[in-house]
Each structure stands twice: as structure tokens, then as C-alpha cells.
Amino acid sequence: QSVLTQPPSASGTPGQKVTISCSGSSPNIGSNYVSWYQQLPGTAPKVLIYRDNQRPSGVPDRFFGSKSGTSASLVISGLRSADEADYYCAGWDDSVNGWVFGGGTRLTVL
Amino acid sequence: EVQLVESGGVAVQPGGSLRLSCAASGFNFDVYTMHWVRQAPGRGLEWVSYISMDGSTIYYSDSVRGRFAISRDNSKSSLFLQMNSLRSEDTAFYYCTKDYCRGSTSCYFESWGQGTLVTVSS
């Protein structure tokens, strides 16, 4: 059971917009920044969003992060087949003095 | 270019010990916080441990505290994870990750190695 809650799966067709949610609580999302990671099949994770809504250089602006209270969201617009991957949210948790991850959301592009 | 190369992952029996290494290059290793993150086959990501730039600040997840020890050798740009009293549930890919932040602060996992597989089985 993960500290941060994500839907196990999401799907969309090419060109569509999909939203992946991440629900936490006061000591984690409510008090600290959220980051998002993309893991393509058979590869190591890669950061997509940091500090709730910042994109590292090289990450297209089709990926958008937001946060409100104890929940965060990752929105992927203009969906492409190359976006098929597992997506994870993460944040520092003050109550356990450690990082916590969501269980991951597998995105399927139909 | 940041490179993180993990090594040391093998098959080991329950109760055994193992030491993982991570060779870092392409950045000033001695000023960045570093982490180990693991992923059981077919499962999600789990943070394991973090160490500040000088080793003065260390944190562990509840699942490994008291059994694992993180360390670093800044003179060799290397990160280590000593794993003792291994259990079947420790079976996972172990990723070495570089934090974005320097010093003793942790911000996010900016760079990842390719991982090394630890299998704990009799």
C-alpha cells in the first residue's frame, strides 16, 4: 500500500488529453513539492516534473503538473504512442523523514 | 553528461549480505545528495535511502533501517549500499540516483542509473 495514491491505469487515444492524479496527505504533498517520473518499458525512470509544475529542459510542454492542497495531477496533452509508460508521483514526507512514491499509473495509448 | 553505473547485484540466500556500488561521473559528485531507489520486478518504485554530500545526513526507509547502510567515497565519486540480513522482499532492481539539490537538502531525483538486480532466494 503506497503512501501516495494513484490510479493503477489510464488510457487515451492519440491526440487526446489524459490526467493522472496523485493523492496524499498533509505531511507529504500538503507540505512539500511533488515530482513526477516516467518509466518507459525496460528502462530507468526519468523526471518529468519537479517542484509541482516545473519541467526539466528537454521535457515537452505537453506535460503539465499542478497541485492543490494534498493532491497533485499530471496532465499529458496531445497524447502519442511514445507516451505509453508507467508514471509515478513522489514527494518528501515529513512524518517518516523519507521520500514516498505513488503506486504508479500505467498509461495505455489506444 | 551525468553517468551513474551500478554494480554488485547478484543472487544471494536469505540472511546473506551484499554491497552495491555506484560509479558516478559527469558532475561534481562531492556536492550532491545521492539516493538509492529500488523496484521489485513488475512493481512500483520504493525509496530506500539518502545521503548528504558529506555523509553527515542519512535517512532510511522503515523497510531497510537497521539492515542496510548507505555510504559514499567522494574521492572516488562512488556511492555504496551495504545490505545485511537480506530477505526475499528485498529482491529488486536497485537504482542509484542523483538529487538535483546540493548539500544536505533533497529536492528530486534528477538522474538515474540503469539499475542492478538483487535476487534474494534460497
**% residues pLDDT > 70 (chain B):** 100
CA nearest neighbour of B79 among B119, B118, B29 = B29
pLDDT of residue B106: 82
pLDDT of residue B73: 98
Identify whether the C-beta of residue B83 lies closer than 8 Å to the C-beta of residue B15: no
pLDDT of residue B105: 79
pLDDT in tens, A15-56: 999 999 999 999 999 999 999 999 999 999 999 999 999 999
- Residue numbers in B near A101 (CB within 8 A): 44-47
Cell of residue B121, nine digits: 532466494
Please name the residues between 32 and 51 in chain B that touch chain A, using a CB distance below 8 Å.
35, 37, 44-47, 50
Contact: B107, A33; criterion CB under 8 Å: yes
pLDDT at residue A92 above 90?
yes
| Closest Cα in chain A to B35 | A99
CA nearest neighbour of A63 among A42, A41, A80 = A80
| Closest Cα in chain A to B114 | A44
Cα B68-B121-B59 angle, rounded to 5 deg:
15
Contact: B107, A98; criterion CB under 8 Å: no
* Upper half-sphere CA count for residue B28 (Cβ side, 13 Å): 9
